[in-house]
């Protein structure tokens, strides 16, 4: 049998993978905030289903929660479709309304039962191994069973409808003209998001659901420009955040879900700064490189214009560049050095001369 520690990690890894798969398409469709809304409003579905069925074990709770997630998406569309408010505001209006309605219903009608609003937000992964079920003679934590179900379902849906999802995400108008209804694909994806959120938030809370649906795909987006790689990387990053978060939580003795969400955030921050092409650092380097290359071109052009003229001795003196081209002394030094290294100019005493290569560069400009 697995130890509780291993079970917690396994649950976290499986839920992370299950969340990132639909998360990739949420991020690409710029609908990341819908995961926020859905992962909260499902509570209303649970509460309503509980009030109808009077049982916390009823499968109706699950159905009600998933349905409420989809209803949330629909309501957001109705509100933003009125053109009176934009979509971001519509999300901000619909989700607190439904969530607070759920909180009111709990405090009014279900105060004595275990529907605790704190655990909705953060979950308690450490307790997940104690809530067990036995299926086909195997004793498993409930979260592991349902999490695996969500992961397998999401993986199958992605494999079956990859082409349709990609098309409807990239170009919904083309999808529509080709007969792939973007609305069906949209609501299919949202049902999968809702189902995953319902499954996951029981164990890890809604904050971690959002973190796992949004942060790994957003990180992967910075690291690759191929969709299959983005999906693979998202899963790997989600799993890494789950595992590293678990060990950080044990080490610092803090909330496991909180630590996992933090690790997902740190992973994104690292990619944001250091991603090879799109990271802030790489972009700053590219920008500097472009600026210097342009300055070298300016330098060769300037030297070409004054080549052989009577004032060449003055015009082609490095100190003159500082005045003429309005360069800072340190920048002028760097550019002269770079031009020399590239073989465009050479020094003759104090004066800069173009090489044959430098002359060719300047003439091509």
Which residues would be at the binding site for other proteins (CB under 8 A)? 28, 160-164, 166-167, 169-171, 173-174, 176-180, 221, 224-227, 229-230
Compute φ and ψ for 224, nearest 5 degrees.
Answer: -145, 160
For helices 32-53 and 4-28, give the axis angle rounded to 10 degrees: 120
> How near is the Cβ of 212 to other proteins at its closest, in Å?
20
- What letter does residue 290 receive in the DSSP assignment? H
> How near is the Cβ of 166 to other proteins at its closest, in Å?
7
For helices 4-28 and 142-170, give the axis angle rounded to 10 degrees: 20
Kindly tell me which of 42 and 168 has the beta carbon lying closer to other proteins.
Answer: 168
> How near is the Cβ of 9 to other proteins at its closest, in Å?
30
Residue of 341, 365, 345, 364 lying closest to 354 (CA atoms): 345
The whole-angstrom separation of Cα 71 and Cα 74 is 5
In angstroms, what CA-CA distances link 271 with 184, 207, 212? 34, 21, 16
Kindly tell me which of 108 and 226 has the beta carbon lying closer to other proteins.
Answer: 226
> How near is the Cβ of 227 to other proteins at its closest, in Å?
5
> How near is the Cβ of 66 to other proteins at its closest, in Å?
23
Kindly tell me which of 161 and 187 has the beta carbon lying closer to other proteins.
Answer: 161
> How near is the Cβ of 230 to other proteins at its closest, in Å?
5
Using DSSP's 3-state secondary structure scheme, residue 135 falls into: strand
Kindly tell me which of 89 and 174 has the beta carbon lying closer to other proteins.
Answer: 174
The whole-angstrom separation of Cα 149 and Cα 363 is 67
> How near is the Cβ of 167 to other proteins at its closest, in Å?
5
> How near is the Cβ of 224 to other proteins at its closest, in Å?
6
Kindly tell me which of 148 and 169 has the beta carbon lying closer to other proteins.
Answer: 169
Kindly tell me which of 278 and 359 has the beta carbon lying closer to other proteins.
Answer: 278
12 in Cβ contact with 200 (< 8 Å) = no
The whole-angstrom separation of Cα 357 and Cα 70 is 65
> How near is the Cβ of 39 to other proteins at its closest, in Å?
25
Determine the distance from the C-alpha atom of residue 253 to the mean position of all C-alpha atoms in its chain, rounded to a whole number.
27
216 in Cβ contact with 234 (< 8 Å) = yes
The whole-angstrom separation of Cα 213 and Cα 178 is 29
Kindly tell me which of 24 and 295 has the beta carbon lying closer to other proteins.
Answer: 24
Element counts in the chain: helices (H) and strands (E): 15, 4
Kindly tell me which of 109 and 162 has the beta carbon lying closer to other proteins.
Answer: 162
The whole-angstrom separation of Cα 166 and Cα 175 is 10
- DSSP assignments along 176-208, one per residue: HHTT--HHHHHHHHHHHHHHHHHHHHHHHHHHH
Residue of 152, 117, 126, 115 lying closest to 11 (CA atoms): 126
Kindly tell me which of 79 and 125 has the beta carbon lying closer to other proteins.
Answer: 79
């Amino acid at each position: 049998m697995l130890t509780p520690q291993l079970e917690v990690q396994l649950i976290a890894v499986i839920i992370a993978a299950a969340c990132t798969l639909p998360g990739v398409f949420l991020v690409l469709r710029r609908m990341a905030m819908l995961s926020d809304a859905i992962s909260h409003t499902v509570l209303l579905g649970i509460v309503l289903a509980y009030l109808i069925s009077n049982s916390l074990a009823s499968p109706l709770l699950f159905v009600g929660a998933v349905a409420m997630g989809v209803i949330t998406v629909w309501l957001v569309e109705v509100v933003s479709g009125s053109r009176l408010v934009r979509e971001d505001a519509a999300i901000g209006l619909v989700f607190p309304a439904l969530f607070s309605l759920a909180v009111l219903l709990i405090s009014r009608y279900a105060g004595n039962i275990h529907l605790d609003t704190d655990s909705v937000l953060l979950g308690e992964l450490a307790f997940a191994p104690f809530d067990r079920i036995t299926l086909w003679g195997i004793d498993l934590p409930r979260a592991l069973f349902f999490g695996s179900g969500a992961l397998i379902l999401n993986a199958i849906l992605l494999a079956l409808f990859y082409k349709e999802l990609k098309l409807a995400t990239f170009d919904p108008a083309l999808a529509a003209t080709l007969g792939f209804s973007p609305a069906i694909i949209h609501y299919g994806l949202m049902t999968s998001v809702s189902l995953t959120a319902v499954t996951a938030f029981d164990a890890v809370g809604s904050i971690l659901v959002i973190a796992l649906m949004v942060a790994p795909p957003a990180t992967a987006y910075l690291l690759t420009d191929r969709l299959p790689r983005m999906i693979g990387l998202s899963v790997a990053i989600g799993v890494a955040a789950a595992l590293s978060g678990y060990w950080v939580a044990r080490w610092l003795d803090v909330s496991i879900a909180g630590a996992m969400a933090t690790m997902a955030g740190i992973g994104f921050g690292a990619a944001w700064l250091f991603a090879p092409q799109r990271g802030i650092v790489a972009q700053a380097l590219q920008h500097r490189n472009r600026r210097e290359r342009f300055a070298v071109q300016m330098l060769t052009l300037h030297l070409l214009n004054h080549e052989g003229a009577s004032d060449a001795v003055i015009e082609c003196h490095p100190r003159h560049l500082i005045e003429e081209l309005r360069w800072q002394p340190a920048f002028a030094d760097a550019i002269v050095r770079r031009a020399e290294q590239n073989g465009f100019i050479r020094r003759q005493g104090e004066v800069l001369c173009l090489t044959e290569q430098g002359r060719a560069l300047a003439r091509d400009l």
